[in-house]
Amino acid sequence: MSRQLRVAVIGAGPAGIYAADILTKSEVDVTIDILDRDPTPFGLIRYGVAPDHPRIKEIIKALKRVLSNDDIRFFGNVNYGADLKLDHLQQFYDAVIFATGARADRDLDIPGIDLKGSFGGADFVSWYDGHPDAPRDWPFDPDAKTVAVLGVGNVGLDVARMLAKTADEQLVTEIPANVEAGLRVNATQDVHVFARRGPAQVKFTPMELRELNHSPNIDVVVHPEGFELDEGSMDAIRASKSVKLVVDVLQNYLAKEETGAAHRIHIHFCQNPVEVLGEDGKVVGLRTEVTELDGTGNARGTGEHVDWPVQAVYRAVGYRSDNLAGLPFDNASATVPNDGGRVIDIDGEPLPGAYVTGWIKRGPVGLIGHTKSDAAQTIELLLADVDQLVAPASPDRADVNRYLEGRGIEFTTWEGWEQLDTHELALGEAVGRTRIKVVAREEMVQLSRG
């Protein structure tokens, strides 16, 4: 291609930033604009990682280096589907890569899931991470001392830990004032985490599991009922060092005596949630069916049920991506149909110039390493298509700015993020903390555009 390639990336999380990085390091002359509905970059690294996990947020340092590249621009506070659509983007870009990730809670279709006191884990994460679109207040029930968490991935453990920790323990983190105030209302003493299968089938990482007992105010209690290792479990342990480490940590918790801490996180295996129990429209319990492993690592129901008296239920059974305007969507998998990253229409034909990467491409599975290799696959296909891409009518970089300004969109930029970043760091420094997040969208935009 003799001319410069112009590419838009929708989504400024790791998936989109990695795709931009890989593309700028290719042999093609390219400039890239990354657009995101949030006023800030970094996606779920900023709004999906628990505030007491600063080590995981270290990845932002690498993402910052990418976004500092002059060939990459950031446009925040631009909502795809509302502010612009695919046909608008095609006026300015040869290709569009969708990396919008997944932020909504996956549904759990059991009776009572919509009762008052039943919450989505992703919604709770957005609240405690200070997402601008989340409610400022969380509806903690001051009488809810016993809480259930459904799901045994890292998000489930984050939710359990955030419910069990005290507000004072979180004051070393970046939580804003409204989250601190909310956590002080939280009366949770016991958090019960339920797994449908056994210890070798859980999805949390060893590090996440070990960190559960780093608080002196929390005892981790692994219950022996259902702690099963069938032949399928032993195969999984032999095949994966990570699975073996998780099972080892769980066995250590199983053998450990309680210290009498004020808060407890209970982990139950072979308990499948089948109903949220209610009274007067409010959660009063959880019913589970006891399961057993079938020899392959899968579980089957036994017909035996257990009722657990809990006053709130948090489901953390996975994330779900949003449908994107102008693109096909598979509701079952909550992904955009694609062939290796090329978007395909209902007839199975590629949609010219449209690509996907990250969770919108493959579903909400995998860690950061998978995101990099996934982006590399998508970029390889885009580069193979370069000579067939249709040139945009308005390829000048300034045309995008003029279009957004003409629509009255108060977009933020990378330079604006640096201003907001400096402001948040200063807020934290004033009280001996690393950072305090600004929550309100309007305030973030004003500080970024200041």
Answer yes or no: do 65 and 138 share one domain: no
Q: Copy the structure tokens of residue 263.
A: 């808060």
Q: Does residue 219 share a domain with residue 71?
A: no
Mean pLDDT over each residue of the chain, to the nearest integer:
95
Pair 238, 205 in one domain: yes
Domain-located, residue 430 = no
pLDDT tens figures, 107-163:
999 999 999 999 999 999 999 999 999 999 999 999 999 999 999 999 999 999 999
- Residue 331 domain-assigned? yes
Check whether residue 150 and residue 251 sit in a common domain.
Answer: yes
How much is the average pLDDT of 365-385? 90
Residue 282 φ then ψ, to 5°: -130, 145
Dist CA 337 CA 327 (whole Å):
9
Do 386 and 242 share a structural domain?
A: no
pLDDT at 1: 64
Q: How many CB atoms lie within 10 A of CB 210?
A: 16
pLDDT score of 111: 98
Q: Are residues 315 and 385 in the same domain?
A: no
**408, exposed or middle or buried, with CB in 10 Å at 0-12, 13-18, 19+?**
exposed
DSSP 117: T
Under the banding of pLDDT at 50, 70 and 90, the label for residue 450 is confident
pLDDT digits (tens, 9 = 90+) for 229-250: 999 999 999 999 999 999 999 9
Place of tokens 């989505």: 120
What's the CA gap between 364 and 153, in Å, rounded? 11
Residue 301 lies in a domain: yes
Entry pTM: 0.95
Return the beta strands (E) in 280-397 as ranges: 282-293, 299-308, 312-315, 319-320, 338-339, 342-344, 350-356
Q: What is the structure's pLDDT at 397?
A: 96
CATH code (residue 334): 3.40.50.720
Distance CA 95, CA 25 (A): 17
423: alpha, beta or left? (left if phi > 0; alpha if psi -120 to 50): alpha
Q: Is the pLDDT reported for residue 382 higher than 70?
A: yes
The verdict on 61 and 85 lying in the same domain is: yes
What is the domain-level CATH number for residue 191?
Answer: 3.50.50.60
Task: Note whether 312 and 382 are same-domain residues.
Answer: no
Average pLDDT over residues 22-33: 97
DSSP state of 136: S
In this predicted structure, the answer to whether residue 407 has a pLDDT above a threshold of 70 is yes
The residue segments making up the domain with residue 199 are 107-319
Whole-number pLDDT of residue 256: 94
- Give the model's pLDDT for residue 446: 98
Number of domains in the chain: 2
Q: 35 and 82 in one domain?
A: yes
Whether residue 366 has pLDDT greater than 80: no
Q: Tell me 120's DSSP state.
A: E
Tallying the residues shown for the chain, one arrives at 450
From 319, 341, 362, give the residue that closes a domain: 319
CA distances from 180 to 44, 138, 169, 189 (A): 20, 11, 10, 17
Residues 289, 372, single domain; the answer is no
Alpha-carbon gap, residue 411 to 414, rounded angstroms:
10
pLDDT of residue 12: 98
pLDDT reading at 294 higher than 70 = yes
Rounded Cα–Cα distance for residues 264 and 189 (Å): 6
Backbone angles phi, psi at 76, to 5 degrees: -95, 170
227 and 171, same domain (yes or no): yes
pLDDT of residue 3: 82
Mean pLDDT of 193-212: 95
- Are residue 86 and residue 127 in the same domain, yes or no? no
